[in-house]
Structure 1
Amino acid sequence: MSLDVVVVGCGGHGREVLGIVRAVNAAAQGRPVWRIRGFVDDRPSEVNLKRVQRLEVPYLGSTARLAEQPVGTHLALGVGDPTARRAVDRRLAAYGLPAAALVHPDATVGPDAVHGEGLIAFPGARVTTNVTLGRHVHLNQNSTVAHDCAVGDHVSVNPLGAVSGDCTLGDGVLIGAGAVVLQKLRIGAGAIVGAGACVVRDVPVGAIVKGVPAR
């Protein structure tokens, strides 16, 4: 029996999330895991609405339409920015709908990894062993999280980002595209690691670091 899912966000990230849903269904070989009900978005641009239309998936309307969805409908938050994703998550909690965990068939999550609701692992993402992932963590294309890491809620690791073993990432951390976090480091909640940076020391809460080495 397929589960209903609604994608929240018509932007590029949301449409990529739809692609993961479709890939999961294709890998199920004729027994789809998900029944796609459509997109919701409070402020979609005309351009994004046209792009959604090309995907042949309905735009249902604003997030208020979630109140009309069947009990048990899952939500996939197609919101790339961690701060915005946390805000949307909190606002949508009033609807009482569960979050979908989506792992692309070309991603790998270790058998002893533990994750909260709403994990989205994009194609090529790699999570190894003894990793804990919080709520609504997004691991973008070809990103890696190595052994013994603890990753907080609403974290994003952008494409080609690499988190080495035994690291701790606080809630709402953003690891930019192509950035590297060396082993045994702590990245404070809300910190941003710029694209292409190499982190060689702990990063304080809310800090923005960039460069090689990251400062």
Structure 2
Amino acid sequence: MPRCRRSLARWIPQMTSVVIVGASGFGRETLDVLEAMIAAGSDVEIAGVLDDGPSNINLERLADRGISYLGRIDDWIAHADVSVQYLVAIGNPVIRQMLCAKFDLAGFEPFTAIHPTAIIGSRFVTGAGSVVCSGAVISTNVQLGKHVHVNPVATIGHDSILQDYVSINPASVISGEVLVESYTLVGAKSIVLQGLTISEKCTIGAGAVVTKNVPSSKVAVGVPARWS
């Protein structure tokens, strides 16, 4: 009988415990993604949420949905089991990278979360720690780097590449064969036309239409998008 139990144990899937970093809007949207994955049968459990300065209203919102607030990031890292995986749900790409570096240095592994309602094309590749939200559409041969955020109902066209720590905000459209370099944030309902490159550390304003390549560290706004 003990031999039988050991044999069966090898077939029992291991539950992945995930902690979310960030109690604000995107943190709770990331909770939605994880809860939808769990409802769809993923072997995931939510350990709780970390935040160095959560507002009272966000703490109440977590409590209302039965999610534990686990305290400050450094305090938790100092005592937590490294088997828990992490998701940094902070919209600012630079801050996101700084926080990810803390977890990586301490030996934690990032978790990748994709909402079951996202439409994912063939030959899709994503780096660890990325989040793809509900209603997102990702076409064929798309590559996401590490810790990329694709917000609700955003569209990523065929053969596009989003490098590490890119944020694509809600309802944005990245056309085909676009390169979005690291640490760039694309604002809500903006459009990037086909074949363009948005260089690193750019911000594309909400509703902008990008019609030409954008140099690094620019803030591009308007229709068509302009920068100084």
Same fold per TM (> 0.5)? yes
Q: In the alignment, which residue of structure 2 is the partner of 1:52? A: 62
* Pair 1:2 & 2:15 matched: yes
| Alignment-mate amino acid for residue 62 of structure 2 | V
Q: In the alignment, which residue of structure 1 is the partner of 2:216? A: 205
* Pair 1:126 & 2:137 matched: yes
Separation in structure 2 between the aligned mates of residue 119 and residue 125 of structure 1, nearest angstrom? 13
Over residues 39-95 of structure 1, what are the superposed CA-to-partner deviations in whole Å (9 max), with x where a residue is unaligned? 111111222111111111111111121333323211011111212212211232222
Separation in structure 2 between the aligned mates of residue 4 and residue 196 of structure 1, nearest angstrom? 37
| Alignment-mate amino acid for residue 206 of structure 1 | S
Separation in structure 2 between the aligned mates of residue 182 and residue 111 of structure 1, nearest angstrom? 22
Instruction: Give the counterpart of 1:12 among 16, 25, 37.
Output: 25
Q: TM-score, normalised by structure 1?
A: 0.95
How many positions carry a matched residue from both structures?
212
Q: In the alignment, which residue of structure 1 is the partner of 2:82? A: 71
* Pair 1:135 & 2:146 matched: yes
Separation in structure 2 between the aligned mates of residue 73 and residue 109 of structure 1, nearest angstrom? 27
Q: 1:59 to 1:180 in 2, by over 3 A?
A: same
Instruction: Give the counterpart of 1:26 among 39, 43, 46.
Output: 39
Separation in structure 2 between the aligned mates of residue 203 and residue 91 of structure 1, nearest angstrom? 31
How much does 1:200 deviate? 0.3
How much does 1:110 deviate? 2.2
Separation in structure 2 between the aligned mates of residue 6 and residue 111 of structure 1, nearest angstrom? 29
| Contact residue 126 and residue 145 of structure 2 kept, 8 A | yes
Separation in structure 1 between the aligned mates of residue 192 and residue 213 of structure 2, nearest angstrom? 9
Over residues 168-195 of structure 1, what are the superposed CA-to-partner deviations in whole Å (9 max), with x where a residue is unaligned? 1110111110000000100010111111
Give the match's secondary structure for 1:13: helix
1:28-177 alignment, distance < 5 Å = 28=41, 32-64=42-74, 65-177=76-188
How much does 1:108 deviate? 2.1
| Alignment-mate amino acid for residue 78 of structure 1 | A
Separation in structure 2 between the aligned mates of residue 17 and residue 8 of structure 1, nearest angstrom? 10
Separation in structure 2 between the aligned mates of residue 27 and residue 8 of structure 1, nearest angstrom? 23
Aligned-pair identity in percent equals 37
Q: Which has the larger radius of gyration?
A: 2
Give the match's secondary structure for 2:47: strand
- Could you say what the CA RMSD is over the residues aligned between the two structures, in angstroms? 1.1
Separation in structure 2 between the aligned mates of residue 71 and residue 186 of structure 1, nearest angstrom? 37
| Alignment-mate amino acid for residue 66 of structure 1 | I
Separation in structure 2 between the aligned mates of residue 54 and residue 142 of structure 1, nearest angstrom? 26
Structure 1 runs (4+) deviating above 6 angstroms are: none
Separation in structure 2 between the aligned mates of residue 54 and residue 116 of structure 1, nearest angstrom? 32
Contiguous gaps of at least 5 residues in structure 2: 1-13
